[in-house]
Amino acid sequence: MTGIKPFGAFVSLPEGKNGLVHISEVSYEYVQDLAAVLSEGQDVKVKVLSIAPDGKIALSIKRTQPAPPRGANAKAGGARPGGHSGQPPRQGGRAPKREAPPRVWQPKPAQPQGNLSFEDMMARYKSQSEEKIADLKRVTENRRGGYSRRRG
């Protein structure tokens, strides 16, 4: 390993060439922080995925390992020895942090109606609908990474 960036790791190959292991090609499991899984100077086994016309070499670490069985997860005993990514633990490294479970949108509890006129009930309904739409848009944009927001 010659360098680690947020998007991937650079690997030195024979004949003085370098290639890139994209973060998605490090492990069959989700990797958020490469520095928690790989370290500079570490020897890794890689598979060449492609060589672009401009000479860039795409590599994979995970494709040198057998794919985990479908549906296996750590809670069911399907975890690989050596950590969450199938890589041996780093010397002096810290254990990877567990992510908090994703937040799920929950509707707000209905407020007591009381003696409201039809117009008041419609105004309340419109206000609540607009709030729900705004919440859903915000959650959707966060999942998409903000692509739908206008930049200006």
Q: 130-152 as b/e, with b when 16 or more CB fall inside 10 Å?
A: eeeeeeeeeeeeeeeeeeeeeee
* DSSP E strand stretches across the chain: 3-5, 8-12, 18-22, 47-51, 57-60
Using an 8 Å Cβ cutoff, are 11 and 44 in contact?
yes
What does pTM read for this prediction?
A: 0.46
pLDDT tens for each residue of 105-129? 666 666 666 777 888 888 888 988 9
Whether pLDDT at 137 is above 60: yes
Q: Which of 70-74, 75-79, 100-104, 147-151 has the highest mean pLDDT?
A: 100-104
What distance in Å separates the CA atoms of residue 124 and residue 130, rounded to the nearest whole number?
10
Task: Give the C-alpha distances (Å, rounded to integers) separating 66 from 13, 55, 72, 105.
Answer: 22, 28, 13, 37
pLDDT tens for each residue of 37-67? 888 888 889 999 999 999 899 999 999 988 8
